Homo-oligomer: A and B are copies of this chain.
Amino acid sequence: MAFNKKEEFTQKEQDLANFAKAMAHPARIAILKVLAQRNECICGEIVDLLPLAQSTVSQHLKELKTAGLITGSIDGPRSCYCINWKAFEKFNSEFNFLFANLKVKNEKACC
């Protein structure tokens, strides 16, 4: 039991879920916020802004990167992260599509 059944859903469903999962932790939301508030890549600083150890922050950054929400270039001792705007646009429109559907239908909500 506890087999992973995720592959049995459509690719779009999996993509959306993965996007959501990448944002499913307040630390990662906080990181995205910091990146969003600047015009440039963030190198350090992020660790200082979060109540987490350096290794943990690095792990969260890796997850965001793997999910494609941010890009990062590792320049030796200092890394450089920024938002992957394209990915956000893509998933934002996916979400909006879902929400739009809801909006129309819900005129007749029954419970």
Residues of A within 8 A of B (CB): 5-6, 8-10, 13-14, 16-18, 20-30, 32-33, 36-41, 51-52, 71-73, 80-83, 85, 88-89, 92, 95-96, 98-99, 101-103, 105-106, 108-111
Q: Is the CB of A105 within 8 A of B36?
A: yes
Indicate how many identical chains form the complex.
2
- Complex formed: what's the CA distance from A33 to B98 in Å? 7
- Complex formed: what's the CA distance from A88 to B96 in Å? 10
Closest to A80 in B: B111
Q: Is the CB of B36 within 8 A of A73?
A: no
Q: Is the CB of B85 within 8 A of A103?
A: yes
Q: Is the CB of A111 within 8 A of B17?
A: no
Closest to A108 in B: B39
Q: Nearest Cβ distance between residue A53 and chain B, in whole angstroms?
A: 10
The residue from B20, B24, B26, B111 contacting A71, defined by CB atoms under 8 A apart: B111
- Complex formed: what's the CA distance from A52 to B52 in Å? 37
Identify 26 residue pairs between A and B in the complex whose beta-carbon atoms are under 8 Å apart, listed by A's number: A5-B27, A5-B51, A9-B27, A9-B30, A9-B51, A13-B29, A13-B33, A14-B26, A16-B26, A16-B29, A17-B24, A17-B28, A17-B29, A20-B22, A20-B29, A36-B102, A40-B108, A71-B111, A80-B110, A80-B111, A81-B111, A82-B111, A83-B106, A88-B99, A89-B99, A95-B95
